[in-house]
């Protein structure tokens, strides 16, 4: 299944607890779209949040994030890794 990195902006001041809660909200509904959210990272000072997932499409990732209440600004497929 393809892997995707998505980016959220505008989350300045996000805490570890807030990131964990957002990630749990995704995990709770990810099966609806056959998405597997693997990991999330955040930079509270810039408000940037990054999520790595496996999914059938970028649209599936977007739908889960929207339903969980934190839409992604961009979703990128990452077909090559080192």
pLDDT at 44: 97
Average pLDDT over residues 56-73: 98
- Give buried/exposed letters for 41-71 (b at 16+ CB in 10 A, else e): ebeeeeebbebebebebbebbbbbbebbebe
CATH node for 3-77: 3.30.70.3090
| pLDDT tens digits, one per residue of 4-50 | 999 999 999 999 999 999 999 999 999 999 999 999 999 999 999 99
Domain-wise residue ranges, the chain: 3-77
């Amino acid at each position: 299944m393809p892997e995707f990195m998505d980016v959220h902006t505008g989350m300045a001041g996000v805490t570890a607890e807030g990131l964990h809660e957002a990630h749990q909200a995704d995990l709770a509904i990810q099966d609806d779209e056959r998405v597997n959210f693997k990991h999330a990272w955040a930079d509270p000072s810039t408000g940037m949040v990054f999520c790595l997932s496996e999914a059938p499409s970028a649209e599936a990732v977007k739908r889960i994030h929207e339903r969980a209440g934190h839409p992604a600004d961009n979703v990128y497929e990452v077909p090559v890794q080192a």
